[in-house]
Structure 1
Amino acid sequence: MGIVASQSFKNIISTYLGFFIGAINTLFLYTEFLSDDYYGMVGYMLSLAYVIMPIMAFGMHNTLVKFYSTFKTRISLNSFLTLMLVLPLCVIIPLILIIYVSYDSIVGFLSNKNEIIKGYLWHTVIIAVALAYFEVFFAWAKVQMQTVFGNFMKEVFHRVGAMILLFLLHFEAINLEQFMGGLVVVYVLRMLVMNVFAFSVKLPVIIFKRVPNLSNILKYSFLIIIAGSIATILLDVDKVMIGQFVEIKEIAYYSVAIYIASVIAVPQRSMHQILLPLSAKYLNEKDFESLEDLYKRSSLNLFIVGGFIFLLIVLNINQLYYIIPEEFTGGLFVVFMISFTKLYDNALGSNNAILFNSDYYRVVLVLGVFLVIAMIILNIIFIPMLGINGAGIATFIAVFSYNSIKLFFVYKKFKMFPFTTSTLRIGMLLLASVLLFYFWEFPFHPIINIGLKSLLITVLYIFVVYRFNFSEDISLLIKKYLKLK
């Protein structure tokens, strides 16, 4: 776990920095500097871009990670890398032509409920292309075991850019249209910077020669588009569908709730950057002992760290909603629902990395398609009835079901299970903490309450985890950074 622990820790720092900046943007700047309609439009635009991004990338970011270590000669490897750079264009160019020809029909459908959507379709398309090639260049660096800079760009850069744009808007240095265009520029610039870094790590040698195992690569790429679409749809289609059924400002309220809960996913997102190439390496080398060790350790460590963040959010959420505009408090229920799903994500450890790099991804993709269909149906049912709470319920049911199936599938095919007795003990610690602290508040200002309660939870949680040595990796980190003997 040496390289995993080292790069994961650095990635967690940069990811939390990004989330801290994003929290300021999401909870305070967007809510104060933009109208609810335009805040909702930003959420809609970015969510739609993320939904279509896997198609734009043609699955190349996953394909590159899975097959990179299988090429042993210089010519075959360079031919493969050339293919990874060129194939997305085979999808992007025809898709842009289709959008150009069918623009009126597409815009008419998307803006059926909210007219504001009409002016920002091309913004969405350009951001989707930038997201797609950013992921390709990030994967290029990942396979060289260089994830720290890419993770910084992925988590921090665009949030800083959005913050600068928000302040420029507030001080009237730019207008609303320039702000929306500026967001596009930020994502394009992020992609270009990642491109320069990736090529500095390994400069491409463009060779158009036959790539060995091409049929399997293309088959995997096509199917991984479905996988990427499933994962993205499960995260973002709810916001897109909210825009179809209720007023677009509701997306703003929902986005705040989702953002708060998504902080729990930071450790999993950070560690996943290095878990992917390592899992692919162990699978290609058929080193199942190392693969299982990685599975169990990543599950336990992510459950401990994610559980700690879960407590900080759930036990402080009522006080947090006192310091943001009152209309956003309608998302409280959504925070609880999504927080549970994010904690479950953490507990699965390297489950996704194993599945997407194994030969069994096809079956999981089929199941995922059915789950996406179920989620869309659930959203159609629940959003008109319950608004954003309905979207939260639909997301919870779909993601919980999908994760449970993936957990069972890895156990069935690889005879590996991520949970241990320590997982149960951590679960009991989390439950006891919620029962102990949820209904108890200090009689002070909400910010002071959040600070005092967080400090108390932190001391208690770290003490118990270290005292009972739930995880050797976590205990070593506590020893190192708290200078314990």
Structure 2
Amino acid sequence: MGLVQKDAFRTTLISYFGILIGYLNKGVLFLAILSTSQIGLINLIISIGTLFAQLANFGTVYATWKFFPFMRNEAKKHHGFLAFLLLIVGAGILIYSALYILFREQIERGYMEKSPMFLDYYYWVLPIGISYVLFMVLEVYLRSLYKNIVAVFAYEVVLRLATTVILVLKWLNWISFELFVGLHSLLYIIPTMILVLYLKRINEFNVRLSSIQIPKRLKRVVFYFSSFSYINTLGAVWVNSLDVLMIAQFVGLDGTGVFTTVIFLTSVLQVPYRSILRVSAPLVSDYWKHRNFDKMKELYTKVSSVSLVIGLAMFLLCWVNIDFLFSFLKPEFREGIWVFFFIMIGKLVDMYFGLNGAIFSTSKKYRYDIIFTMFLIVAVYVLNYLMIPMWGIAGAAISTSIALLVYNVGRLLFIWYAYKLHPFHRNQFIIIGISVLVLFAGQLTQGLINNKWIQFLFESTLVVVLFFGPIYLFSLEKETINYITKALAFVRSKLGRN
């Protein structure tokens, strides 16, 4: 876990810095400058753009994880693997851009009644979708080279700082809302260009078609694998996008604005997990290549344990202070409290079993994952269709949590059956028990102090002491203890150097 800890810690720091900027944008400036429906419109455009990107990538993300270790050869420029990926994605961009234009009338029909404002900004989805799919390809390629920092900085920090700039311009009334929407969509090209320049700097931007030296037989294998992983990728996209699309259809842009803002606030829960997964996923492919099941099981357990501890800690800190956190939002956002709760539960489950995806998608039994993905897509759609009309945006959150729970448990059981791999350790269940007790303690101490800031500090301290205290005293999760110790040492060394 040395490489994982080092890179994950750095990317976590960058991601949290980006989260702070993002909170300034979405938690403060968006709410102060834009109406709830305008916020909903912006996030709807982002969601559809993200869906476009996932459709247009044609499964290249998992294909890169699986096959790049076999292509790695600096002298031969990795056999032109990057050019090969960009060729596939270029075809995806052309196909889905054409479909998006040709089927405009049918797509708009679903938003005409509840979200008519979207019709005026229909084409601003394309700059986001095209920029993001190119970013995805370059980012996963860099991850396979074990270079994670620049991509995280470009997307988490630079893009959000650029968003802050145009928000300030809108606040000063130097630009109209129409121009703001256009500029916001065009900003997504910035992280992509940063990765292009970085790849050129490290002499890894090999995009000449003549550099492609992949045997035809292997190309067929890549295409075959990509076709399956492509459908699997859509499962995660539907979970992240279908909620927003269906809320815009059934509830309207105001509900979309509340839901997407709360979703952003919950994203802080997954920052450490995404940083760990970003570094761990390429290692899984290497372990498959060398058939090193012992190392894979060790990584599987450690990643799940660390993610569980960090995820539970973040959940507890947020939930016992939920009234404090929502006190800074507009009153209409209070209906998002239970969205916050159920989405965080779903994300906790996803974090705990999250390495399932990397193991499943890079194994020889990757074809079977399509069964679970199709179930996820159908389950999210059906549950949303039933629950959103009954419970509004909270219904979407409940349906997502249920779908993620069943989906992850199903994958877990299959991996255990096929490869005798699972992430469980006795101490994990002790930690879950501790978290339940801490949650009850936090609820019992609500409202003891009149000053909300002092109450916030008291509740946060209570969670940290009661949750991390037993973990540290009884060494229930050694990787987390090592991670925190190294993080503190890193900070002390930086402060000492300065």
For this structure pair, what is the TM-score category when the shorter chain's length is used for normalisation?
Answer: over 0.9
Q: CA–CA distance in 2 between the matches of 1:462 and 1:102? A: 53
Residues 17-72 of structure 1: CA deviation (Å, up to 9, x unaligned):
22222222222221121011110101111111112211111222221221001126
Contact 1:267–1:346 (CA under 8 A) maintained in structure 2? no
Q: Corresponding residue for 1:131?
A: 132
Q: In the alignment, what sits opposite 2:463?
A: 457
Question: What is the deviation of 1:205?
Answer: 5.6
Q: Does 1:468 align with 2:474?
A: yes
Where 1:173 maps in the other structure, the secondary structure is coil
Give the alignment partner of residue 265 of structure 1, picking from 259, 270, 273.
270
| Closer/same/farther in 2, CA of residues 435 and 88 from structure 1, 3 Å limit | same
Distance in 1 separating the partners of 2:486 and 2:213: 50
Alignment match, 1:203? 205
Q: Is the 8 A contact 1:295 1:349 kept in 2?
A: no
Aligned-pair Cα RMSD in Å:
1.9
Q: Does the aligned pair in 1 maintain the 2:270–2:351 contact within 8 Å?
A: yes
Residue ranges of structure 2 left out of the alignment (5+ in a row) = 493-498
Question: Is 1:100 the equivalent of 2:101?
Answer: yes
1:372-387 aligned at under 5 Å gives the runs 372-387=377-392
Quick check: 69-78 or 376-385, which moved more? 69-78
Q: State the Cα distance separating 1:282 from its structure 2 match.
A: 0.6
For 1:287, the equivalent position in structure 2 comes to 292
Count matched residues.
484
> 1:64, 1:81 within 8 Å by CA — same for their partners in 2?
no
C-alpha contact 2:384 2:395 (8 A) present in aligned 1: yes
CA displacement at 1:210 relative to structure 2: 4.6
- Tell me the distance in 1 between the aligned counterparts of 2:354 and 2:476: 16
Q: 1:136 to 1:288 in 2, by over 3 A?
A: same
Matches of residues 323-342 of structure 1 in structure 2 within 5 Å? Answer: 323-342=328-347
TM-score by length of 1: 0.95
SS at structure 1 position matched to 2:332: helix
Moved more, 96-105 or 233-242: 96-105
Report the Cα offset of residue 428 of structure 1.
1.1
In the alignment, the residues of structure 1 paired with residue 157 and residue 43 of structure 2 have an alpha-carbon distance, to the nearest angstrom, of 18
For 1:361 and 1:262, the matched residues in 2 are separated by 28
Instruction: Confirm or deny that 1:13 pairs with 2:13.
Output: yes
1:33 corresponds to: 33
1:251/1:72 Cα in 2 relative to 1: closer, same or farther (>3 Å)?
closer
Matches within 5 A, 1:167-206: 167-201=168-202, 202-204=204-206, 206=208
How far apart are the structure 1 equivalents of 2:207 and 2:375? 41
SS of aligned partner of 2:444: coil
Shift of 1:76: 8.4
Percent identity over the alignment is 25
For residues 203-242 of structure 1, the aligned pairs below 5 Å read 203-204=205-206, 206=208, 207-211=211-215, 212-242=217-247
**How far, CA to CA, are the matches of 2:411 and 2:296 in structure 1?**
16
Structure 1 segments of 4 or more deviating over 4 A?
A: 72-76, 481-484
Partner of 1:67: 67
Aligned in 2, Cα 1:286/1:253: closer, same or farther, shift over 3 Å?
A: same
- Residues 141-168 of structure 1 show CA distances to partners (whole Å, capped at 9, x for unaligned) of 1111111221222322222222222121
Counterpart-to-counterpart distance in 2, 1:220 and 1:200: 31
* TM-score w.r.t. length of structure 2: 0.93
Counterpart residue number, 1:446: 452
SS of 1:127's equivalent?
helix
Shift in CA distance, 339/106, structure 1 to aligned 2, threshold 3 Å = closer
* Distance in 2 separating the partners of 1:205 and 1:239: 36
In 2, are the aligned partners of 1:82 and 1:208 still within 8 Å (CA)? yes
In the alignment, what sits opposite 2:434? 429
2:495 aligns with none
